[in-house]
């Protein structure tokens, strides 16, 4: 059995001195251990230093840590849709057009990933109540088609579970019906959006350590090496389930998420980002 968080944002405070960055990395590694995660997709937003985030986590990996980290990015398409692209090694971080926010349309990005055997992709949270969900822009038929091309589907996403918990505790699910439905469809993708034969992924989509812990469980043999783990995660062979972790303080989770979402909104709006690229010669030298 393998516990995997296929969608995590390290959310490093790179604007602070290195001491705080190191402390943040240590907290992340401690949480990977506490939540017994065998693997984590380091899927930072394209506009928030995805490669630097991965590199920082590697740099501060504690001795004896057993969690494998998988290079990924939550790419941002020209329409503003999120799509996670990942690879077995750091190859994804050498791809300028993928790492650059707003460069490719979702159609171009999907076909780009389809054509490159070293890349894999998945469209997260199609029903997200924001521009980042594909269904804000395109029909369910188009979303299904793109998912089929990619062969992966994000069936579970825990980003709105605090909101769901909050709405149900206050009996607001009827009053805020639309919001509550978007949250439910984000948490568990409806069957009509899951074409047959695709491989399920799922993750916490957490931006803070206190929101981590929900993860995909792959019912396969415990992998011995990184290569084994990657093969198991991308293989359609094994049964998959998901474990949910309840928020201890849903309101506090919502407030911290709201602050982070606002900061990310400003970063996108004011283009407060660079292109965080790994030169391909460096990757070639390392392998
Ligand atoms: Fe995300």
Q: How far is the CA of 157 from the centre of ligand 1 (A)?
A: 9
Q: How far is the CA of 146 from the centre of ligand 1 (A)?
A: 18
pLDDT attached to residue 43: 98
CA neighbours within 13 Å on the CB side: how many for 56? 26
| Overall average pLDDT of the 7-11 stretch | 98
Q: Name every residue whose Cβ is closer than 8 Å to that of residue 21 and which is 6 or more positions away in sequence.
A: 12, 13, 14, 56
Residue 181 is predicted with a pLDDT of 95
* Two structure tokens written together for 192: 């009509």
The tokens describing 34, both together, are 């506490």
Q: Report the separation in Å between the CA atom of 204 and the middle of ligand 1, taken as the mean of its atom positions.
A: 9
Under the banding of pLDDT at 50, 70 and 90, the label for residue 287 is: low
Asked if residue 196 lies in contact with residue 284, where contact means CB atoms within 8 angstroms, the answer is: no
Share the mean pLDDT of the chain. Answer: 96
pLDDT in tens, 184-219: 999 999 999 999 999 999 999 999 999 999 999 999
Calpha distance 39→70 (Å, rounded):
7
Contact by Cβ (8 Å): 200, 188: no
Domain formed by 2-282, architecture? Alpha-Beta Barrel (3.20)
pLDDT for the residue 272: 83
CA of 9 from ligand 1 middle (Å) equals 7
Distance in angstroms (rounded) separating the CA atoms of residues 72 and 153: 15
pLDDT tens, residue by residue, 210-254: 999 999 999 999 999 999 999 999 999 999 999 999 999 999 999
pLDDT in tens, 59-116: 999 999 999 999 999 999 999 999 999 999 999 999 999 999 999 999 999 999 999 9
pLDDT mean over 29-55: 97
Residue in the block written with tokens 């009996």: 171
Could you tell me the distance, in angstroms and rounded to a whole number, from the CA of residue 257 to the centre of ligand 1?
A: 11
pTM (global) more than 0.85: yes
Residues 6 or more apart whose CB falls under 8 angstroms from that of 18 comprise none
Q: What's the CA-to-centroid distance between 44 and ligand 1, angstroms?
A: 7
222: DSSP letter? P
- How close is the Cα of 119 to the center of ligand 1, in Å? 18
Q: How far is CA 19 from CA 123, 198, 212, in A?
A: 35, 43, 23
Ligand 1 centroid to residue 205 C-alpha, Å: 5
Q: What is the CA(285)–ligand 1 centre distance, in A?
A: 31
- The DSSP 8-state label assigned to residue 146 in this structure reads H
Lowest-confidence segment of 14-18, 27-31, 273-277 by average pLDDT: 273-277
C-alpha of residue 259 to centroid of ligand 1, in Å = 15
pLDDT category of residue 271 using cuts at 50, 70 and 90: confident
Asked whether the beta carbons of 255 and 208 are under 8 A apart, the reply is no
Ligand 1 centroid from CA 214, angstroms: 14
| Annotated domain spans of the chain | 2-282
- Categorise residue 50: left if φ over 0, alpha if ψ from -120 to 50, beta otherwise: alpha
List the beta bridge partners of residue 206. Answer: 8
pLDDT tens-digit readout, 141-175: 999 999 999 999 999 999 999 999 999 999 999 99
DSSP code for 45: B
């Amino acid at each position: 059995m393998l516990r995997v968080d296929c969608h995590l944002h390290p959310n490093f405070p790179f604007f602070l001195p290195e001491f705080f960055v190191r402390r943040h990395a240590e907290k992340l590694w401690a949480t990977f251990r506490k939540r017994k995660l065998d693997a984590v997709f380091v899927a930072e937003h394209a506009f928030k230093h995805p490669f630097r985030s991965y590199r920082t986590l590697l740099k501060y990996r504690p001795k004896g840590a057993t969690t494998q980290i998988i290079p990924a990015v939550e790419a941002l398409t020209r329409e503003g849709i999120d799509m996670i692209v990942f690879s077995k090694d750091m190859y994804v971080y050498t791809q300028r057009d993928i790492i650059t926010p707003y460069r490719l349309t979702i159609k171009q990005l999907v076909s780009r990933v389809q054509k490159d055997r070293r890349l894999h992709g998945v469209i997260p949270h199609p029903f997200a109540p924001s521009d980042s969900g594909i269904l804000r822009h395109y029909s369910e038929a188009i979303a299904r088609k793109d998912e089929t091309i990619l062969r992966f589907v994000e069936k579970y996403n825990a980003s709105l579970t605090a909101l769901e918990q909050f709405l149900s505790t206050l009996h607001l699910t009827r009053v805020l019906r639309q919001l509550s439905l978007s949250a439910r469809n984000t948490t568990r993708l409806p069957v009509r959006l899951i074409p047959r034969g695709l491989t399920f992924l799922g993750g916490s989509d957490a931006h803070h350590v206190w929101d981590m812990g929900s993860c995909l469980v792959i019912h396969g043999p415990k992998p011995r090496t990184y290569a084994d783990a990657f093969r198991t995660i991308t293989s359609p062979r094994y049964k998959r389930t998901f474990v949910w972790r309840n928020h201890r303080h849903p309101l506090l989770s919502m407030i911290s998420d709201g602050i982070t979402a606002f900061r990310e909104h400003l970063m996108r709006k004011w283009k407060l980002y660079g292109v965080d690229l790994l030169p391909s010669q460096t990757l070639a030298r390392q392998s």
